[in-house]
């Protein structure tokens, strides 16, 4: 390298020390900074969180207007990131307003007038039971479907089944953790969303948009399959009649005659086939009536033969003749 005043760094100078695993304190500090960011900023619009605020099934917080902008038709929407970035952030959890719950925070009015609160990005929210400030330092939850927000400590200690604000009943699985950190809490929320999807419900416990339609289509498919089975049965029975007409004759002798044009068969090809088979059977019946007795039985009795040999003979002596030697 030459004469440019530079230097060639050695490996010892580049690698001062090996990469170290972050300590527990560093991990907690990173999580706290991340929690503070998501407690104060909407990930879709990158604007401060302002009421009305909604949450999805994973406990994430969004500005409601940003969700509405995302759901509007079109490739791009004003005020938020690109559609592709928003879809990556939401990961298919939000397909409509039924997939989010609007949260109802209790605003800390005393803190709003404090001079230090003017420099913060969001307004102060408190738990109506414990009066603790909700945020990264306090584990917070909300109830579905009412959306009232409390500290997790208040819900755990009271152990009730009705909301403390509106007296609306709720189940234990519908207590949603806001911005969960632990993996078991995240898995719990994922399992809940899967169970609701199997029941045709959304995160807000409302029916999914396509649940009624799927049920209706299911009934139509069942009716169509039943009609198809009935049609196959009719075709098989008509095919049996064609192969074995005597079966139809025996049934016709013991039952009432079938009309020439069958009624109740919707398929035109099946109706034509049935009418043709029945017409052939009727023709056979007419021929039997005209000929009288059975041809096999008439062949046993003949009035006169061509040669006159069996003039006075019957079926017992016909075909018998004396040998030539006996005649002499």
Query: Residue 278 and residue 249: Cα distance in Å, rounded?
Result: 10
Nearest one of 76, 51, 82, 75 to 65, comparing CA atoms: 51
The predicted pLDDT at position 28 comes to 85
Q: Which residues contact 52 (CB under 8 A, 6 or more apart)?
A: 63, 64, 65, 102
Query: Residue 41 and residue 124: Cα distance in Å, rounded?
Result: 14
Within the chain, which residue ranges are assigned CATH 3.30.40.10?
26-198
**Which residue would you say has higher pLDDT here, 278 or 260?**
278
Quote the tokens at residue 131. Answer: 């009066």
Give the bridge partners for 148, in sequence order.
104
Nearest one of 270, 276, 287 to 227, comparing CA atoms: 270
DSSP assignment string, 120-189: SSS--EE-TTT-PBPBTTB-EEEETTT-BEEEHHHHHHH--SB-TTT--B--GGGEEESS--SHHHHHHH
Please give the share of the chain, as a percent, with pLDDT higher than 70: 61
* Per-residue model confidence as pLDDT tens digits over 129-138: 999 999 988 9
Quote the tokens at residue 246. Answer: 């005597």
Torsion of CA 14, 16, 21, 27, to 10 degrees: -90
DSSP assignment string, 27-81: HHHHHHHHHHHHHHB-TTT-SB--SSEEE-TT--EEEHHHHHHHHSSSS--TTS-
* Per-residue model confidence as pLDDT tens digits over 207-220: 988 765 444 454 54
Nearest one of 69, 88, 71 to 79, comparing CA atoms: 69
Three-class SS of residue 106? strand
**Structural contact between residues 170 and 146, judged by C-beta atoms closer than 8 angstroms:** yes
The predicted pLDDT at position 312 comes to 52
At residue 106 the predicted structure's pLDDT band, cuts being 50, 70 and 90, is very high
* Per-residue model confidence as pLDDT tens digits over 170-193: 999 999 999 999 999 999 999 999
* Per-residue model confidence as pLDDT tens digits over 136-174: 889 999 999 999 999 999 999 888 889 989 999 999 999
Name the CATH code of domain 26-198 (choices 3.20.20.140, 3.30.40.10, 3.40.462.20, 3.40.50.300): 3.30.40.10
**Which residue would you say has higher pLDDT here, 220 or 42?**
42
**Which residue would you say has higher pLDDT here, 23 or 205?**
205
**Structural contact between residues 260 and 280, judged by C-beta atoms closer than 8 angstroms:** no
At residue 273 the predicted structure's pLDDT band, cuts being 50, 70 and 90, is low
**CA 202, 171, 65 angle in degrees (round to 5)?**
40
Nearest one of 127, 184, 193 to 155, comparing CA atoms: 127
């Amino acid at each position: 390298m030459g004469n440019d005043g530079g230097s060639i760094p050695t490996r010892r100078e580049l690698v001062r020390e090996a990469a170290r695993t972050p300590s527990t304190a560093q991990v907690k500090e990173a999580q706290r900074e991340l929690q503070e960011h998501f407690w104060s900023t909407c990930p879709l619009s990158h604007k401060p969180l302002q009421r009305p605020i909604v949450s999805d099934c994973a406990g994430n917080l969004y500005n409601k207007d940003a969700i509405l902008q995302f759901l509007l038709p079109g490739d791009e929407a004003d005020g938020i990131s690109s559609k592709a970035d928003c879809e990556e952030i939401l990961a298919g959890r939000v397909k409509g307003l039924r997939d989010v719950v609007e949260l109802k925070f209790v605003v800390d009015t005393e803190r709003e007038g404090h001079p230090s609160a003017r420099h913060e990005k969001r307004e102060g929210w408190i738990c109506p039971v414990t009066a603790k400030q909700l945020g990264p330092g306090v584990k917070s939850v909300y109830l579905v479907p009412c959306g009232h927000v409390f500290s997790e400590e208040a819900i755990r200690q009271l152990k009730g089944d009705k909301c403390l604000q509106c007296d609306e009943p709720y189940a234990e699985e519908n207590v949603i953790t806001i911005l969960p950190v632990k993996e078991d809490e995240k898995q719990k929320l994922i399992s809940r969303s899967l169970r609701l999807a199997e029941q045709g419900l959304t995160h807000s416990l409302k029916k999914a948009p396509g649940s009624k339609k799927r049920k209706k289509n299911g009934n139509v498919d069942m009716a169509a399959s039943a009609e198809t089975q009935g049609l196959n049965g009719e075709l098989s029975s008509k095919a049996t009649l064609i192969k074995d007409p005597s079966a139809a004759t025996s049934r016709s002798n013991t039952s009432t005659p079938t009309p020439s044009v069958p009624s109740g068969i919707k398929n035109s090809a099946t109706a034509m086939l049935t009418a043709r088979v029945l017409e052939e059977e009727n023709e056979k019946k007419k021929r039997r009536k005209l000929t009288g007795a059975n041809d096999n039985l008439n062949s046993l009795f003949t009035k006169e033969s061509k040669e006159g040999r069996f003039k006075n003979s019957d079926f017992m002596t016909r075909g018998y003749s004396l040998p030539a030697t006996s005649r002499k």
